[in-house]
């Protein structure tokens, strides 16, 4: 059964970081439903929000994302976790 998950990634704002993240999501066979990125004006970090869908293990994707150069933090939104548990995802 496919589940939808909301991930937030904090990374250094470096050349190609979004491309590397999206390539990994594709190689891990996750469907990308939504992506948004926001960079603070006086910050060297970018906040990236991904909504992905798959019947594959999300934990493995999160571990692989964490290993990417320039990625600082990867976390799953609790709102989507609750919606998936209740069958609304």
| Nearest by Cα to 10 from 61, 86, 59, 75 | 75
Say what the pLDDT of residue 19 is: 97
So what's the pLDDT on residue 42? Answer: 87
Contact 55, 89 (CB under 8 A): no
What lies within 8 Å, CB to CB, of 82 at 6+ separation is: none
Domains of the chain: 3-85 (3.30.70.260)
Q: What are the average pLDDT values for consecutive 10-residue runs of the chain, which has 89 residues?
A: 94 96 97 94 93 96 97 85 55
If you search the block for the tokens 């999300």, which residue do you land on?
A: 58
């Amino acid at each position: 059964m496919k589940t939808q998950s909301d991930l937030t990634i904090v990374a250094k704002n470096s050349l190609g970081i979004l491309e590397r993240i999206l390539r990994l999501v594709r190689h891990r066979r996750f469907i990308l439903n939504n992506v948004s990125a926001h960079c603070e004006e006086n910050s060297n970090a970018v906040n990236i929000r991904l909504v992905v869908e798959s019947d594959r293990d999300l934990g493995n994707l999160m571990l692989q994302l964490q290993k990417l150069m320039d990625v600082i933090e990867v976390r799953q939104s609790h709102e989507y976790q609750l919606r998936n548990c209740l069958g609304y995802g």
